[in-house]
Amino acid sequence: MVRMSKGVRAGTRKIIARKPRERGLSRITNSLQSFEVGNRVNIVIDPSIHKGMPHKRFHGLTGMVSSMQGDAYIIEVKVGNKFKHPIISSEHLRKAN
């Protein structure tokens, strides 16, 4: 038997996959967007860009920008009863309403 994969993207075939007509490179405006400290953002993983991609457990969550680290943002997200601080690039973030 083959051992079960336990990599970072294990079990993400349906979660991260794009719809057939949306495949290919994403828009340049996604990488050029900027956020201020205190903004609320949604974490939506873009599978075409691997750099700065968060773990699959953060996909679909909403958090607050706490600070910057290089070109990426540190987002404060509540998972369960704890606050997590993933480091995510701007391609995987969208402004929340």
Please report, in tens digits, the pLDDT of each residue of the chain (97 residues total). Answer: 899 889 888 989 998 999 999 999 999 999 999 999 999 999 999 999 999 999 999 999 999 999 999 999 999 999 999 999 999 999 999 999 8
Domain assignment of residue 54, yes or no: yes
- Looking at residue 91, its pLDDT comes to 96
Token couple for 39? 């903004």
Residue 11 lies inside a defined structural domain of this protein: no
pLDDT at 97: 84
Q: Does 10 reside within a domain?
A: no
Total number of domains in the chain: 1
CATH number of the domain that 57 lies in?
Answer: 2.30.30.70
Q: Count of alpha carbons within 13 Å of 78, Cβ hemisphere only?
A: 3
Residue whose entry in the numeric block shows the structure tokens 């996604």: 30
The pairing of strands 93-95 and 40-43 is antiparallel
pLDDT at site 5: 86
Question: pTM (2 decimals)?
Answer: 0.89
- Assess contact for 91 and 27: CB atoms under 8 A: no
Q: Which domain holds residue 87?
A: 20-95
